[in-house]
Structure 1
Amino acid sequence: MEGSTFQDCTDRLGLELYPGDFQPVRAAGPKGDTKNDGYCPKARVFFAAHATRGERIDKTKSKIRGDLEGCLQKHRDVQVWRFLTNDTLPGEVDRFIDSELRPLYPGVTIEVWGLKTLADEISKLKRAQVDKIVDIVTVDEPEFEVVILNHMKTGRDLWPILSGCLGWLPHEEPDDCTDEEQDLIDGAVQSFRDWSDISGDIEFSRSSVRDAQRSITAILEELAEKGLALYSSTKDDYPLTGGSSPFLGTVAIFRIVRVDRTAPSSSR
């Protein structure tokens, strides 16, 4: 963050650290902000926020001295003066604060919160507070839900899933696949997705749908010859986009499993 964006962030931080006390301040008119970017009237903590990243050392030192001295001249009973920056201050600037400014004002606690200190302080807060400070919107994780997957034996079984979904979750497969099995599975899943992509274009033609289903049946039979079976289903209202108001849609779930050819198949 840079400039006013960084200062807005420090305002939100102050509001979370000092609820009911912190008061943001902005420049207004020829008198400016009276060298005060925000303060706590009760705790008597005064903030100066300035993005120093990429700034010359002499300019940073001048800014710190000017803000500190101006604040002490214009405000009463300053207990803590805290300089907030989006960078780690160079050693020369830190020495200047410790060796020159602190001895001049022993009655004031002079603090510098650089990038690492800010990150450390923010990370101590609750997730909702952190999100508010860095100004992001989070979407609650979807609750755990069991989805029943059914054994797909023919293209007719799988077609309603392919034609009714808007996306796919990453497919699952056995961990011990050979290279040949891996190629077969990858090709099968890609074919399923291709048929899904064009399903809307061929739905009007029963013969085209039957051709698609026969092609899918052939793929399922090829998997079966290798002792592999496809289990599939759909999940509704799945977020297909990010953001605070994601687009929700139906997604397909594919799971390839290794089966015992002598055992009867069942839904899982």
Structure 2
Amino acid sequence: MDQNSLRKLVEGQLLRLEGNAFQDCMDRLGLELYPGDYQPVRAAGPKGDTKNDGYCPKARVFFAAHATRGERIDKTKVKIRGDLEGCLQEHRDVKVWRFLTNDTLPGEVNQFIDNELRPRYRGVTIEVWGIKTLADELSKLKREQIDRIIDVITVDEPEFEVVILNHVKTGRDLWPILSGCLGWLEHEEPEDCTDEEQDLIDDAVQSFRDWSDISGDIEFSRSSVRDAQRSLTAILEELAEKGLALYSATKDNYPLTGGPSPFLGTVAIFRIARVSPAVPTKA
């Protein structure tokens, strides 16, 4: 398995972690990155975890791990401010405060950190490790270290199999793919995207994943499913206006966990390709 494929698998696995499972994973990462220094922390007693999910007493690096996927922006900002200020109040000589999340923080949250928190606490290096950074850091480690940190696919790769991707033009066609998968592989996109196109693609893929996450909750309501399909159709039409098309399919029996007896499930595959925009016909 090459480095890029491993990073994509690690990223996909991190996306599935929530709550304590994500914190436990970040503890294992800290133990590998700072051997002999990192100490996990858990809430106990009236003071809880003293706003500290784990730290390095020698390096004076403090960690706050929080799975933010699907969380409201205002709640994330309150969480970050509270954890940072609480940590600085409870602990001395904090050199680095690192916020770990299995999401890509919205621009508004990053702006809040850069414009409000960093100027206010200039003596502390405030870092944010989102999903991309975490996947990159994990992928730099040895395979046995990765196995200790996260239940990632490190078994021998299955025999090569061709998956035919279909051009998806409507939300009605896309919905069975999103509602029938347990995960997704890293999407492919054109390499020459403009900033506007990149933002459009990122928003589209995030919407696909969001709808996939809640599909099981709304499947019982035909009207809710139709609303979802109409929303997806609008996204696909917006891509088409920019000369971009979605090709998608599912892959069954894909190993979602590592080990000798991995958990198998269906994953979605997305590929966004550049095509010629449709030319309106004259009446």
TM-score by length of 2: 0.49
Q: Deviations over 1:216-263 (max 9, x none)?
A: xxxxxxxxxxxxxxxxxxxxxxxxxx94479xxxxxxxxxxxxxxxxx
RMSD: 1.9
Contact 2:143 2:154 (C-alpha < 8 Å) held by counterparts: no
TM-score by length of 1: 0.52
- The offset of 1:135, in angstroms, is 3.5
2:49 counterpart residue number: 33
Contact 1:138 1:244 (C-alpha < 8 Å) held by counterparts: no
Q: Segments of 4+ in structure 1 off by > 6 A?
A: none
Structure 2 CA distance for partners of 1:18 and 1:138, relative to 1, 3 Å: same
1:90 aligns with 2:106: yes
Contact 2:66 2:99 (C-alpha < 8 Å) held by counterparts: yes
Structure 2 CA distance for partners of 1:244 and 1:68, relative to 1, 3 Å: same
2:18 counterpart residue number: 2
Say which structure, 1 or 2, has more relative contact order (CA 8 Å, 6+ apart). Answer: 2
2:69 counterpart residue number: 53
- The offset of 1:31, in angstroms, is 1.1
Q: How many Å separate the matches in 2 of 1:94 and 1:115?
A: 14
Q: How many Å separate the matches in 2 of 1:137 and 1:244?
A: 10
- The offset of 1:30, in angstroms, is 2.0
Structure number, greater radius of gyration: 1
1:135 aligns with 2:151: yes
Contact 1:137 1:244 (C-alpha < 8 Å) held by counterparts: no
Structure 2 CA distance for partners of 1:245 and 1:65, relative to 1, 3 Å: closer
Gaps of 5+ in 1: 142-169, 171-241, 247-268
Contact 1:45 1:81 (C-alpha < 8 Å) held by counterparts: yes
Q: Of the candidates 69, 81, 97, which is equivalent to residue 97 of structure 2?
A: 81
1:111 aligns with 2:127: yes
Structure 2 CA distance for partners of 1:124 and 1:138, relative to 1, 3 Å: closer
Q: How many Å separate the matches in 1 of 2:85 and 2:260?
A: 44
Q: How many matched pairs?
A: 146
Percent sequence identity is 84
Structure 2 CA distance for partners of 1:134 and 1:31, relative to 1, 3 Å: same
